[in-house]
Structure formats: structure tokens, C-alpha cells
Amino acid sequence: MMFATPAIGKLVRAASRITKHGGSAFPGKIVESIDPGFLTRTLAQLPYGVVLVSGTNGKTTTTRMVASMLSDLGLKVFTNPTGSNFVRGVVSALLNEVNLAGKLDADIAVLELDEAYAVHFVKQVKPRYALLLNVMRDQLDRFGEIDTTAKLLSHVAAATTGTVVLNREDPRIAALAAKVPAGTQVKYFGLADDLRHYFPSDDDMATTVSVESGAKTAQPQPLSIDSVGSSPRGAVPELPADVTLTAVGDHEATFSMDGQSYSTAVKLEGVYNLYNAAAALAVVRAVMTDAAAQSKAASNANACAVSADELIAAVSRVTPAFGRGEVINVNGSPVELLLVKNPMGFRLSLASFNPAGADTMIIINDQYADGRDMSWLWDVDFTSLKESGVSMVSGVRAWDMALRLGYDQVPVKQVDTDLERAVTAFVNTNPDTRKHMYCTYTAMLKARAVLGGITEVSDAGVGR
């Protein structure tokens, strides 16, 4: 059966596209049932192994960065498209790339994995590299307490064979170094002291409603040491970072590596993506150092790891993933699509995009991919929108969102639960004005489809 798996999978994929049934991961589901070893066997072909990217915020953008940079630096990269971050999604993506003999023409895989499904993935494939970004309250109906997410990611750290790259500024992520097996390297990416206020940890955040009402804001409780070994920021001496983000500007960033500063222009939107770039730089640096050593050992040649200047040049060329600061021109006006799915992500987006001189729309859905529990909206500070207001609120939970804005005294001009009608009206009003659209995941997909019926929308996903 193994020799026939690629042909069967490609046939299922073609049939599902023609009939429009089954979804993008359906071929992967079929292949998992008929050939459980397909994923392990196929990825074992890769000479430089697998880079696994996971965490609450920034997986898609950072995966795109890592894949783009490695490709720019000369490696053939396989990666999974946006939205396919479950194991069967990876299998489906592989079916797009293997030939009928099951051969995958790539040097390395860079895979975004959902936090929960990453646990299932590492039971089948041990990644050579893992990049673990952060843990925040997200999809509480799925994960429950935040420490549950950290424990899920600890399985990834424990299964990685080459290098684990951790976020120094997130105490729960930094603590995962204790789970890394002997022989596996641990590296960190981090922030300069004066940038840390941009990126509060989950424990630093408190709802703004109590502040607005004059109530005392509860102080964050210290973290307890659990089985993961987490501890609050500042409780231990600062860890050395392989890459540090030291300064940010308007489409500009400065990174520190080995005590040297490197400044560059970037195409990425939002301060949070500049920190994701530091994460990407750290893991790409580890991969390229190992690739040079492996090439040197194989050919006895004087292969050299890429220079810091080459790494910085590669990060400067990365473009945003779809919906993550992507700009779509409608009637001559730039419309910025901004994915929001938890308190930290929404706060950072609001801080990164000045509402002055722009129209703002917020679309909140509560489908499975968004997370059913929308209580996290009460932990987002919306007071930056007070002066400009919000032009349109839409989505399944539009009235919940409008109520939340009311508590922060943010004026809302219009509420329309019909997403297609609301998006169309929003982008066609004030055609010369920049527009910001904050969307949950399924809302962003539908909004993008609506915009595709109005103007040309390019494919800005993660795929090769």
C-alpha cells in the first residue's frame, strides 16, 4: 500500500477540489488512515530535518519568515500553507509536493503546528529544530488554563534533537529549557530593556474596565512553580539571547547578534512582527550554522555559515503573511487586515496601528477556529480608539464587541451582523481614507473573500 499512497492522496485531493467537499485537510485524513507511516517516512528524506514553529501568537508570520529566509539563503524549503497547522494538514500539504514515487524535493521543512497538534506531530516526527514563541490565553474552550498550553509545548522541547529556540521574555517558554534533552542546544531570542513594555507577559496584563471605573486594579499574582518549572520574569538572572531586538521604527528594526548591532528596513507591519523577526533570525542562524558544518563534513570543503549581514538582508525581504498586516488596495485606499485572537495580539495590533486619520472596523466571530470563548475581549484596552471611534462592528459576536467598546467609551457608528454587507459598506465609504480591519480568524478569511469580489487580492499565504 505504501507505494500507492501518493497516487491515492493526489486522487482524493483532486476529487475533493472538484466536488468542493472535505476541506483542504481531507486528503490528509484519508492518507493517515490508509498509511499511518506516510508523514514520518516522507519527512525522514530531508537532509536538514524539520523546523517546528509553535506558540500562541505569531506562528503563521514567523513560519513564513523562517521559510522565506532559508529559501533566500539557498535551501529548498517545504512548508505548510496557512490554516493547515494540524497534523493532517501537514500530510495534505506533503501530497501537493511529493511525486508519485513519494519523493519530496526539499532540503528542510518549516512547519507551523497548533499547540495541541504539535504534541501528536512529535510522536511521529522528532524535529531537529523547534521555535517556541509564547503562551497567552487563547481559545480557552480548547486549552483551559495557560499553563496547559505551556505543558503542551514542553513535549515539543523534549522531542527536539538539534536546537530549541525559546523566548527569553516569556517566563513559561524560557522555563522549557529544563525539558530539553541532553545533547540538544538551547538558544534564546529576546528584547532590549526599553522595549519590554511593548510586550507584556500574560501575567502583566490587567483588564482596563476596572481602571476606567475607578476600581483598584488587581495586582498579578506570582506564578507558582509547576511541573514545567515556570517562574516570573525577573526572578532569575537574565538569559543570554542569540538575537535581541534592540530598536524599532517605522518599517525599521535593529537587532543585536554577538554584541554587534544591525539595522535594516523591513516590509513587515507592526512592532510585534519585528519581535517575530528576532525569533526567526535565531532559528535560521542555528539552521544555517549546522548546514555549513554538515556540508563541510560531507565534502571536506571550507563551507562557511552565513554572515549576520546576509541574515539581516534576508529578513528585510520578508513580506507579511495574509491577514497579518497585509495591505489590500480598494478604490485607491489601503485596507489593512489585522488578525486578532487573544488579548496580547489585539493589544499589540492596536498599539502598532495609529487610528488617527483612518477608519476602523472590528469583526468578531466565535466559530471553532476562532475559539468559542470571547471573554478575552474584556482584557483588551480599547481606549486608544476613543477619539477616532469605530466605524463598523460586524461578525457573529458583533453586539458583544459593541458592548465591550461601550465600556471603554469608544463610539461605534454602525453594527451589522451581516459580514459581507458590512465589509462592502465599510470599504466603499470614505474611499480616500486608510482603513484598519481587526478580524478573528474565520472573520478574516470571509472578509478577505469579500474583498476578493471587489478588487484583486493576491495570494499572500505561506506556501512555496
How is residue 108 annotated by DSSP?
A: E
Q: In the structure grid, which three cell numbers stand for residue 105, read together?
A: 524535493
d(CA 156, CA 170): 16
Q: How far is it, in rounded angstroms, from Cα 43 to Cα 51? A: 11
What is the rounded distance in angstroms from the CA atom of residue 126 to the CA atom of residue 456?
41
Q: Which of 373, 381, 418, 459 is catalytic?
A: 373
Distance of CA 252 to the CA centre of its chain: 20
Are the C-beta atoms of 213 and 242 separated by less than 8 Å? no
User: Quick check: 433 and 358 in contact, CB under 8 A?
Assistant: yes
The end-to-end CA distance of the chain, in Å, is: 29
CA distance 109 to 103: 14
Q: Are 8 and 34 in contact (CB under 8 A)?
A: yes
- Helix, strand, coil % over all residues of the chain, rounded to 5: 40, 15, 40
- Cα separation, 17 vs 365, in Å, equals 26
373 in catalytic set: yes
- Residues 40, 46 contacting (CB under 8 angstroms): no
For residue 1, give Cα distances in angstroms to 8, 67, 87.
10, 32, 21
Catalytic residues: 373
